[in-house]
Structures are given as C-alpha cells and as structure tokens.
Structure 1
Amino acid sequence: MPHAQASPAPSHHQPRKPCLSQPTLDVVAIGNAIVDVLARADDSFIAEHGLTKGGMQLIDTTTADELYSAMGPGVEISGGSAANTLAGLAAMGRSCGFIGQVAQDQLGKVFAHDIRALGIRFDTASRAGDPPTALCLIMVTPDGQRTMNTFLGASQFLPPAAIDADLIRSARILYLEGYLWDPEEPRAAMRSAIATAREAGREIAFTLSDAFVIERHRADFLKLIDEGLIDILFANETEILSLTQSTDCESAIAQVSAKVPTLVVTRSEKGAIAITGGTRHEVAAAPIAQVVDTTGAGDLFAAGFLAGYVAGKAPAQSLKMGAIAAAEIISHFGARPEADLKALLGDLL
C-alpha cells in the first residue's frame, strides 16, 4: 500500500511546453519490429549452445540459422518489446500507433498484419533488400524462463526519416524501447522523436529493456534522465542496479526516483513499485497457477501501468493493472495477450 518515500520530489525535470493540441492517440511507441519463434528447450540445450539462461543476446545471420535448425518445433508470434506493450494497451481499449522497421519479406508482412489487426496504427514503409525482418529465437525452459537470441535484421535500420512527426505529436505519450537505442540509425530516430514530443508538450516514457543495453549506453540514458527528458521510466531490479552501478536496489531506486517524475520497477514474484513525485506505491505479484513463459512480462506490465496512467488512475491502481496483465502473459506461450484483458481487469479499467 502507498506510504511516504523519504527521497525528495524530482527537481531535475525539464518542464514540458504547454500542449499545442489535444492528443488523439494515447501512446505512440518506437521499437524493434520482430517476429518471435518460441520453442521449448531444456537446460542442457541452453548449456550446449553457450546461451545465458534468462538473458538476451544479439546474434548474426549464421548463428540464427544454426540455432533455428537446432531448435525443436516452434511457434511464430509477432513480438518486439514496445510492440508487445502496444498490443496490451490496445487489448485494454487504448488507442496506439507504432513506428518500427520491417523488410519487404514474408515475416515483414506477418508483423504488419498482426499489429494492424489489433487496431494499432502502423505506417512505417517496409525496407527493400537485405537484411530481412528481425527474428527472435526464444528457448523456454521447463521453469518458464525465456532465453532470447535476437537477430535484429531490418529493425536496426529505422532511419530518422521514418519518424512521423505528426504521429508523435498526436499521442499523449511517446514510449521508447531501450533495445532500439543500440543501433546508430534508430538511436538518431528516437532522439528526433524525443525533440518532437517535447516541443509538442507530450510525455515521454522509456523502458531500459536489458542490462546489456545499459552497459553499452549508460551515459546516454543517464544524460536523458539528468536533462529531464524522461517522464516515466520502466526498469526491473537488474536494470536499475546496472543503471546506477549499485549493489543495493533501494539506494538505486532512491537515486533514480529523485530525477524522474515516475519510476516503475518490476520485481518478478515480489511484485512492483512506483515512485511518483516522491511517494512510493507497491503492488504484490498477481497470483498465477503456473508460470509457462516469462516472455513479455515486463512489456505487459508496462501496458497495464500505462493504460491506468492515461486514464488518470491512481498509481496503486495502475500498478495493479500492470500486475494482472503480466500474470496473464506468463500463463501461456508468447508475449501477446490471449485472455480478455478487459474482463480480467474489470472495474480497474
């Protein structure tokens, strides 16, 4: 339950300009446009192929071909962290748009079809030639842990020219995927989007995505925070420790929450916390009969929280919505909702 947080209210934040117009969309996200291939694997498979269980690594074409050949029967589902979050938001009745790069190939058509079928606006032109559309090979072990091996393909070539300024300005929140900060072109594209959103008086949410991304771009992320360019920051415990290079989670949380208006930290089975304006809120993890696949848990938590946030819900309610959405996603294979999230959330919506 909410209780006072000792850390001071954010003082580093850069005030947004007054909104130039009323938003027509709730959230526009920029992220990797990826098709996931999920297959069951045991721990010996993970060890045999030198994978880090529960982690994410970037792979090249050769490794992707080798792993794909070695995998058991797979299930293809459109994915990508930010796109998964939008799928959750759309399932909760929120209006969304997505910016991400696919190639002119079959997987690109699959991704575009899937995201548009959810009612999400997706207008980014597909890219001709190589590399192909991004692919993530996900091994799910019996304990539900997912080990991701990502071939970024076309997604890492999202150019600044693909940023639709009118689309950015049309949304209340611009949501950025940390994974996409790694390649140079989309990083420049996201910087352009941040400037457009700020100029229009919109809010910016950022998800740190993974410790490996933070290790490579910590200075950039800290600069965004210090310059007051992030309104809502999503992280898990590992990521917040990596960002602050701390060994104590509470001190890391205090350090970052003093600089962003809203910090959300997920803690797996321990639930999650949000600190808004110096006040701390907590939620327990939603109960679940069995963890089948943790792919997308953080993505859907962000979806639930943002759905509550844009609806003006109290932080504790938004956290609960996130916990329920995350519990749904880990109860089955894949990172897109299968159950009726509106029904699950009930009166919280």
Structure 2
Amino acid sequence: MTQPRFDVLAIGNAIVDVLAPCDDAFLAGEGLDKGAMALIDTDRAEALYAHMGPAREISGGSAANTCAGLAALGSRAAFIGQVAKDQLGDVFAHDIRAAGIHFDVAPREGHPPTARCLILVTPDGQRTMNTFLGASQHLSATAIDADLIASAAVLYLEGYLWDPNDPRAAMQGAIDAARAAGRKVAFTLSDAFLLDRHGDDFRALIDAGRIDVLFANEVELMGLTGEADFEAGVAMLAPKLPVLVVTRSEKGAIAVAGGQRAEVPAEPVAKVVDTTGAGDSFAAGFLHGHVRGASLRDCLTMGAVAAAEVISHYGARPEADLKTLLAQRLG
C-alpha cells in the first residue's frame, strides 16, 4: 500500500455558519426547539435571518470543521463538498484553503445558493441550528475522485450529508473507493434525527463491516441501538466495530477497540460560550491521534482538548494554538 498523501479526507456539507446570540424567549417566539438542528427551506431561512440580531459569518459544516481542527493540529487534511458560484461559496473556498486544507471541487452554477446554517446561541452556550442545505445537497458522484480517496489514510463521512440522494450516492461510492484502496472509513452519526430517516442504512453499513471508526453521542447511541441504558448500548454496538467512540458532553467520552476500553473526563472550561462544533473538534482530535497510532486514551484526550477549546468561544473552528494545548496536556 502506498504512503498516504493525506491523513484524513472528509466529505460533508459546505456551509457558512451565521451565529447570533439570543435568549430563550426568542427561541420560543420562533417555535424553535432549543439545542436541536432543523432543516429549513429558502423562505424560512430568509425570515429567520431577518429576525436574528447582529451576527457573525464563519465558514462551517460538520466535516469541514473537523478538517479545520485536524489542520490546526498538524494533520494533512482534504475536503470534498459542494458550494455554489456565489459570494458565500467564495468565502467558504477561501477559508478552507487558507486553513491549509486541500479543496478542489468546482463551484456549482445557478441555484440553489451556497448552504448556510443560522445558529442561535443562548447564554448557557447551547446552540440551536437551522440549516439551509442549498448547493451542498447537490454534491454528485462525479465529484468523487477515487484516486484522491485512495490517497488518504482515513475517509471521514458526515452523517448530515446522508440525507439528500445525490450526496448519499457520492459517499457510498467513496466508501467503495476507500475499501478498494485498503483505507479506513470513519463515520459520524451527526444528529439523532437522522436515525429516524436513515438508521437502517447506518446499521447496514456497520453490519457489513464498511465502517472502521464510528462517532456517536449518547442520544445517537440510544437511537441506533434502541437501548435506553448507556452501557447496554455500548455492549451491543462495540463488538460490531473496530473502533467505537461515544461522547457524553460534560461526562467525557469513551472508546472501545478490540475489546479494550478507555474513558476520559471532559476537559475543564472556564466558561462554555458556544457548543457549536464541539463534536466536530472532538473527532478531529481523536482522528489526529488515531492516524498516528496513539493509545485509545490519548486519542480521547486529544479529542477532549480540542472540544474544550472550541466551546470556549463563538464559532466552530479553533482559535487557540491546538498544538500547544496538546503539548501542555500530554507532555
């Protein structure tokens, strides 16, 4: 097997995040479920944006955020996602390349426009996301370069992008390419609501041995396994996967691989400002360690450090020097 050009190649939604603070009353007035993620159409996106207070625009998207974390840690990352030929598309492409991430998907002409996620952040740091998928849901199988997939040690897939038909087919093709090249496939379930729509697909991927590393949170674990008890869910799922990683918010995270289990507490944070991207950053830290052969515990610690950094400020991408933070934490 040839030496990989990239440590991780990720496929996901190419989104620009629009973040604004709000209070619980605003969420109630807009009929929004605090802490949830909802898919919205063009009309709803325009109406909600008009009601939001002053906002910040930051390139985002779950897998793209993970790439940003990987690059900040010193990993070689590449990203595949679809933007439109418009202003936000230019912003996204500039930001991801400026972070040192390989990105060469051509922008799409015409409508719909580049995707955006309207994120409302309450004083307790909880984020309520309203996502307009726009051009990102038109990623086609022709954007999947098998040679590029084969050039990465790990293919990382974002569950959010499994929802639209075209990107789902693109990701299935990418899994085939990674498997043919003898590369690993990592998958994040992204959100519990997806399990209602595609849980059978995800279970089939796991049962067929097409996923090497699975990322889930407690709620997603319960939805995937049907087990209300956390330990029962882990016991059911872990034997089916080479590596299972489950995040538990303030309770830390666990990983199980080859019958071995590791667990770490959450890293201390002076103040939780915005939880947007916590899981994305955790995945970046874990994968950064995983491709380097680090122990399960060290991989979890790297994930926890990266997640703690990103929830300490607005925005889903790192601002502090993650390399320094890891050196201080792990020595």
Scaled to the shorter chain, the TM-score interval is over 0.9
The equivalent of 1:26 in structure 2 is 7
Cα deviation, 1:166-201, whole Å, max 9, x if unaligned, reads 110000000000000000000000000000000000
The equivalent of 1:154 in structure 2 is 135
Runs of 4+ in structure 1 over 2 Å off: none
Counterparts of 1:158-169 in structure 2, within 5 Å, are 158-169=139-150
The equivalent of 1:15 in structure 2 is none
The equivalent of 1:12 in structure 2 is none
Counterparts of 1:304-343 in structure 2, within 5 Å, are 304-343=285-324
Q: CA deviation at 1:243?
A: 0.8
- Give the one of 276, 279, 285 matched to 2:260: 279
Letter matched to residue 295 of structure 1: T
The equivalent of 2:164 in structure 1 is 183
Matched, 1:241 2:222: yes
Whole-Å Cα distance in 2 between the matches of residues 182 and 255 of structure 1? Answer: 25
- Give the one of 299, 302, 306 matched to 2:280: 299
Letter matched to residue 333 of structure 1: Y
Matched, 1:121 2:102: yes
TM-score, normalization by structure 2: 0.99
Matched, 1:91 2:72: yes
Q: CA deviation at 1:228?
A: 0.2
Question: Which has the higher relative contact order, 1 or 2, with Cα contacts under 8 A spaced 6 or more apart?
Answer: 1
Letter matched to residue 76 of structure 1: E
TM-score, normalization by structure 1: 0.94
Matched, 1:137 2:127: no
Whole-Å Cα distance in 2 between the matches of residues 258 and 312 of structure 1? Answer: 21
Matched, 1:267 2:248: yes
Whole-Å Cα distance in 2 between the matches of residues 282 and 119 of structure 1? Answer: 31
Residue 258 of structure 1 aligns to a residue in which SS?
A: helix
How many correspondences in the alignment? 330
Cα deviation, 1:313-345, whole Å, max 9, x if unaligned, reads 101001001000000000000001000000100
Matched, 1:102 2:83: yes
Letter matched to residue 28 of structure 1: L
Whole-Å Cα distance in 2 between the matches of residues 155 and 165 of structure 1? Answer: 20
Letter matched to residue 271 of structure 1: G
- Give the one of 203, 207, 212 matched to 1:222: 203
The equivalent of 1:13 in structure 2 is none
Root-mean-square deviation (Å): 0.8
The equivalent of 1:289 in structure 2 is 270
Report percent identity of matched pairs.
Answer: 68
- Give the one of 1, 12, 29 matched to 1:48: 29
Matched, 1:65 2:10: no
Q: CA deviation at 1:244?
A: 1.2
* Mean CA deviation greater in 247-256 or 118-127: 247-256
